A and B are shown apart, each in its own frame.
Chain A
Amino acid sequence: MGPSMDDNRPIFVQIAERIEDDIIEGTLLEEAQAPSTTHIAAFYRINPATAAKGVNLLVDEGILYKKRGIGMFVATGARQIAVNKRKEQFYEQYIITMIREAQRLGITTDQLKEMIQKGESN
């Protein structure tokens, strides 16, 4: 099938994330027109209703908005909303997981800080 989707999570969530990625990376600018659900469905080879659900998720979050009869557009301030959302996820996905693994291996907080600094200088 199309560009691969991960089996573990609903496709509409993954669609919303890919659009957010484009907004965060600047390939999709604020006030630019977002891809239509038909295009998304064809590109990712998914059901159009699923694509629409992903787009609507972003509308609910204020990232996209609808211009009647034209289509979906990226809202002003959308990038900041998406970045904030990702920062929260970053904390959950990486920081919490990292701390848990560090505790398992007996790495102290100071050692962890050192490792982060080492990683940054690389």
Chain B
Amino acid sequence: MTPIIEAKNLTKQYGDVVTVDRVNFKVEENKIYGLLGRNGAGKTTIMHMLTAQQFVSSGEIRVFGELPFENNNVLERICFIKESQKYPDNFTVRDVLDTAADVYRNWDRAYALSLVEKFELPLKRQVKKLSRGMLSAVGIIIGLASRAPLTIFDEPYLGLDAVARQMFYDSLLADYAEYPRTVLLSTHLIDEVSNLLEHVLLIDGGKLLIDEEAEALRGRVYTVSGPKAAVEVFASGRKVLDSQSLGGMIQMTIENGHSDELGQDEAEALGLSVTPVSLQQLCVSYMKRHTVSNKEGK
């Protein structure tokens, strides 16, 4: 089956600066993907290239099997919600939703209105007079009610408080369960979304560091702490992502190899203390390690 998105050696370059560096990945149909990484890692550039808002410097990106540039067949099946979406100044919330209803083929008006109520949006108010959080809610409503085959959320919740973000996650899960579609969720609030994701793509410095099922990443990385000598014996031959010492004690962040799934048990049998690592901490360790190896390479 054709993947929904396929990037092959995808690269974006401005003069000497490479912001996306030979990235390869596939996005399969009807899964929720997390596109994770720090600000400036290249996430937004990738999303812009796949929605034909920026040119590809080299390599290629295909969406629904086709090149997206000036390709209505691709673009009409995508709903892209950006961090700071601009709307015409004189538009009310109702005008924005009416426009969205015209643009998106699968638009569900009743569902959109139920979300307006849920997020307590004033339909008659002009968009320019909305608070930052309300403006984000408008984007979220469009993203959900459009039910586009490929829905992309790029940090959609600036100004939204924890309660409203939770409403977004719950609405996304419920509607996705009923109307499966491909969702690409770009965020740096990794802990909040980690259980929603089926697949994780981690970008750092324009490179793809992780392309893996979210479930496969659980338990992959853990920290081991204890007396320095004992931890070092355990860690030798294993992949150490990070280490911190305090006096005679040391704590190491360790990645399990594919053939070494019992690493944690072995550490415990040695009397070392083992702590699981969340997806967010895992991403941070990968990015720290990547930054260090980049500096050493230069």
CA of A45 to CA of B271, assembled, Å: 35
CA of A46 to CA of B214, assembled, Å: 11
Judged by DSSP, the binding face of A is: helix
B264 within 8 A of A: yes
A56 within 8 A of B: no
Most chain B CB within 10 A, of A9, A49, A100, is at A49
Q: Chain A: which residue is nearest B30 at the CB level?
A: A49
Cross-chain contact A46 with B218 (CB below 8 angstroms): no
Min CB–CB distance A39 → chain B (angstroms) = 9
Q: Chain A: which residue is nearest B174 at the CB level?
A: A42
> What number of residue pairs across chains A and B have CB atoms under 8 A from each other?
65
Partner of B195, one of A2, A38, A100: A2
Question: B31 — which chain A residues lie within 8 A by C-beta?
Answer: 49
Min CB–CB distance A17 → chain B (angstroms) = 14
Identify the B interface with A (CB < 8 A).
Answer: 31-32, 169-170, 173-174, 176-178, 192, 194-198, 214-215, 218-219, 222, 264, 269, 271, 276-279
CB-based closest 9 A-B pairs: A8-B276, A7-B276, A38-B177, A46-B195, A48-B177, A10-B215, A47-B198, A8-B219, A7-B278
29 sample A-B contacts, Cβ–Cβ < 8 Å, listed by A number: A1-B192, A1-B194, A2-B195, A5-B195, A6-B276, A7-B276, A7-B278, A7-B279, A10-B218, A11-B195, A11-B215, A38-B174, A38-B178, A41-B173, A41-B177, A42-B170, A42-B174, A45-B170, A45-B195, A46-B173, A46-B196, A47-B195, A47-B196, A47-B198, A47-B214, A49-B198, A50-B195, A50-B215, A100-B269
